[in-house]
Amino acid sequence: MISATANTIFQRAIDDYHVHDTIDATMENPYDPATLEHLLYLKCWIDTAQWHMEDVVRNPDIDPKEGLYWKRRIDKQNQVRTDTVEYIDSYYLQKFADVVPLTDARINSESPAWAIDRLSILALKVYHMQQETIRPDVSATHIQACQAKLATLLEQRQDLSQSIDELLKDIATGRKYMKVYKQMKMYNDPNLNPVLYGGQK
């Protein structure tokens, strides 16, 4: 099942990142660049770095110039994240290219890669919530509250993992079919954002 593979790779990426716990640490992807595993590791590494960028920019005492610097880095990172999701969808489009959908085949509300994107974010939530349950500098009430949240996150990951596996099985057997809409983010496009192309002062 792909979810088990993805969850294992996501955990590895998160653990590898936290060896140095530095946003600009060099990623050393252990998987062959031609594989889905490579994309999954890359995806979670991108998410992990962005998670920590989001932490930094939320410092209430951050200098406005530094805040803008991080906001722009987050925007750039989010674009890379979106591109990587589309690479994963491209993998599945190719994988299922020869599958003939059944006459009553249905489309899913999201593509496999965007569901996997949510699974990667959940892995990060699980990791960081788990860290909150072992902090030595907080109250028992804090730990108990985080343990309850962690249990919910683990249940959510189990449900999402099952849903992803079922979706891919349905696509492979023709009960559902893939239809991917490429990103159309206007604010990053110099031809579509009026501030960038000069249509707005």
Output the CA torsion sign for 109, 113, 114, 117.
Answer: positive
Number of domains making up the chain:
1
Q: Where are the alpha helices (DSSP H) in the chain?
A: 2-20, 36-57, 64-95, 112-132, 140-172, 194-197
pTM: 0.92
Instruction: Work out the end-to-end distance of the chain between its first and last CA atoms, rounded to an integer number of angstroms.
Output: 52
Give the type of residue at 79.
Q
Q: Among 48-52, 107-111, 159-163, which stretch is predicted with the lowest mean pLDDT?
A: 107-111
Domain that holds residue 23: 2-197
pLDDT digits (tens, 9 = 90+) for 72-128: 999 999 999 999 999 999 999 999 999 999 999 999 999 999 999 999 999 999 999
Among 162, 118, 167, which Cα is nearest to 4's?
A: 162
Task: Show the tokens assigned to 147.
Answer: 């343990």
Share of the chain above pLDDT 70, in %: 97
Say which residue, 169 or 191, is predicted with more confidence. Answer: 169
Does residue 170 carry a pLDDT above 60?
Answer: yes
Average pLDDT value for residue range 20-35: 97
The pLDDT confidence band at residue 193, using thresholds 50, 70 and 90, is confident
| Beta carbons within 8 Å of 142's beta carbon, 6+ residues apart | 132, 135
Does residue 5 carry a pLDDT above 80?
Answer: yes
Does residue 199 carry a pLDDT above 80?
Answer: no
Rounded to whole angstroms, the Cα distance separating 6 from 165 reads 11
What average pLDDT is seen over the chain? 94
